[in-house]
Amino acid sequence: MPKRLAAALSCLTLALGGAVAMAPAAQATPQACYYYVLEQHPGADEEVTERACRIGGKGGTENFHACYAELRRDYVPAVVAGEACRRAPRR
């Protein structure tokens, strides 16, 4: 019985952990952009990242490009900058 209970609790923990890990990606905000950049490129300047994500948070193509350009000037890799700026607009 204790082994079954431990196995059931382990599965439940893994399932809930996966749901929590997926939750931030489902919500697009400047904060999601900011944390994505810092997770993927820890050397990024926090002030530059915050400014870029706030710009991207306004939405629209022009703001996406401004967000992307700001991050790239700080040497954030293109793939990371693009994905971060896609996450920035408030929805």
Is 4 inside a domain boundary? no
Range of the domain at 63: 27-87
Confidence at residue 52, expressed as pLDDT on a 0 to 100 scale = 97
Is 78 inside a domain boundary? yes
Lowest mean pLDDT among 2-16, 29-43, 68-82: 2-16
Is 52 inside a domain boundary? yes
**Residue whose pair of structure tokens reads 């400047």 in the numeric block:** 30
Structure tokens at 63: 């703001």
- Our count of domains for the chain comes to 1
Taking residues 19-40, what's their average pLDDT? 74
Q: Are 25 and 84 in contact (CB under 8 A)?
A: no
Is 45 inside a domain boundary? yes
pLDDT band at 28 (very low <50, low <70, confident <90, very high): confident
Confidence at residue 90, expressed as pLDDT on a 0 to 100 scale = 79
pLDDT digits (tens, 9 = 90+) for 58-91: 999 999 999 999 999 999 999 999 999 999 997 6
